[in-house]
Structure 1
């Protein structure tokens, strides 16, 4: 008697109609956790996603891993998935799980190369951090650090970009 064995289904992806945002995230893991797409896929499936929500993950050693196809709608920032690409850097919290910019030089070097490539493909896209998409709590039209709901990616992407021209 043959028993059917369950195999994980391959998710089907819907393509984005536009790419208006490139959003940098962190995994909110300690420096000792060398995680990548495989680990994040497991976490995201546990949260009810079909697969990893990010398009790219940059490991601690700077290795770039591909998650969702770049053309696919992501699952990384509520309200903006249909028009954005998500990049996740492994790390971002200290030993007490407090947000910390603890990314390696290799990660930042890979991020720069990846953002250069993405910027060339999507020149109209704005590059920002996940926290920059926090709602404007006081209605003044500006998001200030006291309004961030999330610290992700644990550094100011705009400030970093200013010192690393694309």
Structure 2
């Protein structure tokens, strides 16, 4: 059960200010709560604010069906759980493609993550100013996205500009 005050706090959470981003469109990685992985390179898949940053980055890296050039062009990959930004990945300039047609971003960095979404409490993990700015802008905000897969795309700019 989620306490009523937590539900009310989440309900009033600010929408992500995507209009602050320079790209016209960004990708959004939609994940579930962390679960154990039976893989040699990582122990977890998904998000948990209690994971150490190194484990969390590994848990969020994956092979996705996506337009890798579009993901890279956005410059940031917000990670959401149930429509709330819980982590921010950057360093997406280089990607690899596997034989199944899925893409990975091996140089991705964890700019920051939420340690308590209800509060929200965040941990900024990157020392790069641009990464820190993106994490501070996005973490803990609401960001709706729709897709049949893990990666969705959202428009950041309004047509009125």
**TM-score band (shorter)?**
under 0.3
User: As a proportion of its length, which structure holds more strand?
Assistant: 2
Q: Which has the larger radius of gyration?
A: 1
**TM-score, reference length from structure 1:** 0.24
**TM-score, reference length from structure 2:** 0.24
